[in-house]
């Protein structure tokens, strides 16, 4: 084994021991717990080199060392053994999520499952409207001059808006408006539908143009709404069980309240099928500098439409957490695709 390979082994041992014990790791502990095949003196030399490289640090004057953010990053990048789910875990996830009745239920169950499996904070992003397709547009008559426009996407999202009309309309007119919208817009990506919506009024008989223009103006608000992405969060109480991992818990809680911060981190996963890990300052938010965030996108028909993730301390079991985030993401995608 070369020097660099052995240094990586030592780093891995330090990370694993620190994750397990939350205590700085010394050379004697490494010799006792790991079969590294070299003397304690050699390990001390390797630890000095790792410290010089900025991968471990000495928190106080004891002989023990702890991983730095860079050390965790190298550990994660070299991680080859993702801990597989046990048969019991797979059955538990499948049974719990399969019982969901609609999109909201699927995502609520997913966030509870992730929080329970990882003992961290779990977050799930609703399917992005911009990445969804229109499954159906419904028009519900509330009064003769008041309608409800309901947009249903292929991912199960439902958006509804009240439309006030300048004059009363008949049931036959509502039927024709509903047919026109569905014929023209069904199966279109919402990101592409706005252009077609603007052209709709001129494609119908003159007496319907005013009504359709009113409906389409409301529909356009839904299609171009920038803040339509939402997320669910669960397991915040798990942070209190790991108070020793957070020198100050308040900045973390404040960051969690800023949903735009979490949505940005989740959005980065939608563009890739890989599990992403952001450690400490890689989150690009001061309040999350003491945390690590593990995320994975979920998709329908091969296209990612949202993401799930876990936020916890930098001293988390990465192999365990990455596997469970990926598994829940796959289950969510499979369930939505089957609806």
Is residue 82 assigned to a domain?
A: no
Question: Which of 198, 223, 248 finishes a domain?
Answer: 223
314: confidence class by pLDDT, cuts 50, 70, 90: very high
- The β-bridge partners of 137 are 151
Confidence class for position 131, pLDDT limits 50, 70, 90? confident
Spatial separation of the C-alpha atoms in residues 298 and 296, rounded to whole Å? 7
C-alpha closest to that of 297 among 134, 124, 158? 124
Phi then psi for residue 164, to 5 deg, are -90, 125
Q: Is residue 143 part of a domain?
A: yes
Task: Provide the pLDDT for residue 339.
Answer: 60
Q: What is the CATH number of the domain that holds 51?
A: 1.10.10.10
Q: Which of 223, 255, 281 is the last residue of a domain?
A: 223
260 is a domain residue: yes
* 115 and 247 share one domain: yes
Clarify whether residues 177 and 234 are in a common domain: no
Range of the domain at 212: 130-223
What's the rounded Cα separation, in Å, for the pair 46 and 10? 7
Alpha carbons 253 and 311: distance in angstroms, whole number: 11
| Pairing mode of beta strands 121-125, 231-234 | antiparallel
The verdict on 233 and 331 lying in the same domain is yes
Question: In the chain, what are the helix, strand and coil shares in percent, each to the nearest 5?
Answer: 55, 20, 25
Give 84-123 pLDDT, tens digit per residue: 788 888 888 888 888 888 888 999 999 999 999 999 999 9
Residues 233 and 332 placed together within one structural domain of the fold: yes
Q: Give the pLDDT band of residue 3 (cuts 50, 70, 90).
A: low
CATH value at residue 137? 3.30.390.60
pLDDT at residue 227, as a whole number:
45
CATH number, domain with residue 331: 3.30.450.40
* Residue 67 vs residue 198, higher pLDDT: 67
* pLDDT value of residue 337: 78
Pair 156, 136: CB distance under 8 Å? no
28 plus 66 within the same structural domain: yes
pLDDT tops 80 at residue 150: yes
Identify the three-state secondary structure at position 21.
helix
Last residue of a domain, one of 223, 257, 273: 223
pLDDT computed for residue 70 by the predictor:
95
Q: Give the integer Cα–Cα distance in Å for 29 and 301.
A: 50
Looking at the structure of the chain, the number of domains it has is: 3
**d(Cα 288, Cα 254) in Å, to the nearest integer?**
9
Mean of pLDDT over the chain = 87
DSSP 37-105: SS-HHHHHHHHHHHHHTTSEE-SSSSS-BEE-HHHHHHHHHT---PPPPPHHHHHHHHHHHHT--SHHH
Residues 192 and 275 both lie in one domain: no
| 302 within some domain | yes
Q: How confident is the model at residue 1 (pLDDT cuts 50, 70, 90)?
A: low
pLDDT at 51: 93
**Range name among 66-75, 169-178, 193-202 with the lowest pLDDT average:** 193-202
Residue 32 and residue 119 in one domain: no
């Amino acid at each position: 084994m070369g020097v660099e390979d052995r240094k990586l082994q030592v780093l891995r041992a330090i990370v694993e021991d620190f994750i397990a014990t939350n205590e700085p790791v010394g050379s004697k502990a490494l010799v006792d717990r790991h079969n590294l095949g070299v003397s304690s003196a050699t390990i001390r030399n390797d630890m000095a080199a790792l410290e010089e490289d900025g991968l471990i640090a000495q928190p106080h004057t004891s002989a023990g060392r702890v991983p730095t953010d860079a050390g965790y990053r190298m550990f994660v990048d070299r991680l080859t053994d993702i801990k597989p789910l046990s048969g019991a875990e797979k059955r538990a996830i499948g049974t719990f999520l399969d019982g969901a009745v609609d999109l909201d239920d699927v995502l609520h169950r997913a966030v509870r499952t992730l929080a329970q499996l990882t003992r961290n904070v779990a977050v799930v992003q609703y399917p992005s409207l911009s990445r969804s397709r229109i499954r159906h547009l419904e028009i519900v008559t509330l009064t003769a001059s008041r309608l409800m426009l309901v947009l249903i996407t292929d991912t199960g999202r439902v958006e509804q808006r009240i439309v006030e009309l300048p004059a009363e309309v008949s049931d036959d007119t509502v039927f024709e408006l509903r047919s026109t919208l569905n014929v023209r817009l069904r199966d279109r990506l919402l990101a592409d539908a706005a252009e077609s919506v603007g052209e709709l009024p001129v494609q119908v008989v003159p007496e319907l143009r005013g009504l359709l223009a009113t409906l389409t103006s409301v529909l356009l608000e839904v299609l171009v709404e920038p803040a339509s992405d939402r997320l669910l969060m669960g397991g915040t109480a798990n942070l209190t069980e790991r108070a020793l991992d957070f020198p100050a818990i308040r900045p973390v809680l404040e960051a969690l309240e800023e949903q735009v911060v979490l949505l940005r981190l989740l959005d980065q996963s939608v563009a890739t099928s890989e599990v992403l890990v952001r450690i400490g300052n890689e989150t690009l938010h001061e309040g999350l500098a003491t945390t690590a965030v593990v995320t994975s996108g979920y998709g329908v028909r091969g296209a990612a439409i949202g993401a799930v993730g876990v936020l916890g301390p930098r001293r988390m079991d990465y192999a365990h957490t990455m596997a469970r985030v990926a598994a829940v993401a796959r289950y969510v995608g499979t369930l939505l695709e089957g609806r």
